[in-house]
Amino acid sequence: MAVEPSFIIADEPISALDVSIQAQVVNLMKDLQEEKGLTYLFIAHDLSMVKYISDRIGVLHFGHLLEVGPADDVYLTPLHDYTKSLISAVPEPDPEFERTRKRVPYDASIEKDKAGQPRKLREITPGHFVRCSEEEVPFYQERAASYKKMNKQHLMFN
């Protein structure tokens, strides 16, 4: 901090720490971010911490960005199957939920290019990108629309 950086790469900064210390470090990072106007590239496997500290999330698999977007969008409405699988594996501190939790399996073979279709990050909803072929875009747009519809229904009944 002595050189007053504006950008910090934090590669697994809390992975080897006790849970209570992890929270302290992440809270300190958030405080410093706000006070100093810092930008972090926070690299981690703990998706709950990633969501807590991030404004935007990028999900990597086999060296490719598969999904990028606002933290809430990616975490609460994951479009790519790999992201859904990762989020389904995040433990919850609720024993009842954990007993009935369904993990989403992921088949990486779907990432193989079919018939030479190039895959790249494509914007599915404003600011939310998924790595897919042009032909797959309507599928992801429909998935995003179904999330939106479910969220509206959920809000109406709560």
**pLDDT number for residue 152:** 61
**pLDDT number for residue 27:** 93
Q: What pTM did the predictor assign? A: 0.82
User: Three-state SS string across the chain, please?
Assistant: CCCCCCEEEEECCCCCCCHHHHHHHHHHHHHHHHHHCCEEEEECCCHHHHHHHCCEEEEEECCEEEEEEEHHHHHHCCCCHHHHHHHHCCCCCCHHHHHHCCCCCCCHHHHCCCCCCCCEEEEEECCEEEEECHHHHHHHHHHHHHHHHHHHHHHHCC
**pLDDT number for residue 48:** 83
Query: Cβ distance 55 to 70 under 8 Å?
Result: yes
Please report, in tens digits, the pLDDT of each residue of the chain (158 residues total): 889 999 999 999 999 999 889 989 999 999 999 999 999 999 998 888 898 899 999 999 988 899 999 999 999 899 999 999 998 888 777 788 778 878 888 888 777 666 667 889 999 999 999 999 999 999 999 999 998 888 665 554 54
Residue 40, φ and ψ in degrees, nearest 5: -110, 145
- For the chain, the distance separating the N- and C-terminal CA atoms, rounded to the nearest angstrom, is 45
Query: Cβ distance 4 to 36 under 8 Å?
Result: yes
